[in-house]
Amino acid sequence: MSLPFAQSVHSTGRENAAQVGVELYGLAVPTYPCFFAWVNKFKEDKCLCVTKQSKNGGRDSVQQLQTVDADTLLYEPLEKPSFVVDSLIPTGLSLFCGSQKIGKSWLMLKLCLCVSQGLPLWDMPTLEGDVLYLCLEDTFCRIQDRLFRLTDEASGRLHFAVASCKLSDGLIMQLGDYLKAYPDSRLIVIDTLQKIRTASKDNAYANDYGDISLLKDFADRHSLSVVVVHHIRKQNDSDVFNKVSGTTGLTGSADATFVLEKESRASDTAKLYVTGRDTPYQEFMLRFRDCSWELVERQTQEQLAAAEIPSALFRVVEYMRDKEEWSGTATELLAAMGERGDLSTVITKWLNEYRSTFLSENGVQYDYKRKYNGRKITLTKCVGGWHDSHDRHDGSFGMPPRAVTADTNTDTVLSSEAESAR
């Protein structure tokens, strides 16, 4: 077998074996004493198929791609992703990130207690099973003290360890041995990522992606959830997920990413941001009380989107409930609704911005025409999306033509707005 990236074919160095695996197969290699030992192990697990070069000089061969056609996928019933915590923590690999000493370990212990006893985490059901918590920055004495503060009763299905091998020295094998002893395990928490990694001078992105991929592969093969605790950077960013320490190789390979963030160190409240492949974007407002993170408010992606909609548009929808059609200027619309304050400069923009989403979903069609002496708004009640008459107004939302003949019936209506626009 040709190893073009190896320093020597007979080399047994751990770093060399890992480099060969990444370069040749695009996989992070759990370091064994010899690269071929790793190959043989993964051949048995059907994770990798490699055949050595034949004596007659034939070239290397690998297992053929296993493909599925679209027609099969369309009609074949497949098992949906499962969750250890309903709609929050899926099976697979999750990153849980936050600043140092913000309370990540308290939340992880609460999670472990809930899953091991089958108790809801806040208002979300959990999948009961054995749990392993690798508290690699703590002692058993500190864990005991936290248990005293969090619960009066604990399950024998929750197991702790304060030391483990690193990823490059046999952690995956240790976890495999643990699962043999506790085959009904649902959750493994590793606190923290840095404690199971080794320093490397190789490409940072490749190292990040490789380390997380090893843990993700393990979680996927055993259909359980692995949550890895990690830190965030101090630099500010408009996207909280960009604050995760390290390269995008970490978040890119994880199935779900959580970021716990406080507005200030002294605050007892924090926001938990959640996103993932099978986990919809969510935000949780939490309060730290009596050493436990309690839920204050949960907002789904739909709720967050609704919160961005200007409140005036809700009142427009309510105003149109008993009307088939309304036509006039923005100023007249606000006056008819009894609105206070000067919204005439923004209400037309809001109506246009949300016309195909919020307004349409609530049975209101918005049309707009510009005249040489003003602007005219038309609101029409519709059922099931756009009104049939919408076809008559094609082009109403584009740039107005240079010359438009004004309707004599609307000249008087539009004159007041034309005067105010000058």
Q: What is the pLDDT of residues 159-208, one digit of tens each?
A: 999 999 999 899 999 999 999 999 999 999 999 999 999 877 778 888 89
34 vs 283, higher pLDDT:
283
* Residue ranges of domains in the chain, CATH in brackets: 1-78 (no CATH), 83-306 (3.40.50.300), 309-421 (no CATH)
Question: Residue 10 pLDDT > 70, yes or no?
Answer: no
Per-residue tokens: 16 = 């060399």
Average pLDDT of the residues in 303-313: 79
Average pLDDT of the residues in 404-415: 41
> What confidence score (pLDDT) does residue 408 get?
40
For residue 374, the cross-strand partners are: 371
Are the C-beta atoms of residues 331 and 376 closer than 8 Å to each other?
Answer: no
Per residue in 363-386, pLDDT tens? 899 888 876 666 788 899 886 544
Nearest-angstrom CA–CA distance, 81 and 95: 17
Query: Using alpha carbons only, what angle is made at residue 136 by residues 174 and 294, rounded to the nearest 5 degrees?
Result: 115
Per-residue pLDDT band for 417 (boundaries 50, 70, 90) equals very low
Query: Using alpha carbons only, what angle is made at residue 272 by residues 270 and 277, rounded to the nearest 5 degrees?
Result: 170
- Side-chain-facing half-sphere of 269: CA atoms under 13 Å: 7
Question: Residue 105 pLDDT > 50, yes or no?
Answer: yes
Per residue in 195-243, pLDDT tens? 999 877 778 888 899 899 999 999 999 999 999 999 998 888 888 999 9
> What confidence score (pLDDT) does residue 27 get?
54
Nearest-angstrom CA–CA distance, 284 and 169: 37
Per residue in 311-348, pLDDT tens? 888 889 998 888 899 888 888 888 888 887 778 778 88
Average pLDDT of the residues of the chain: 79
Residue with tokens 């490749």: 206
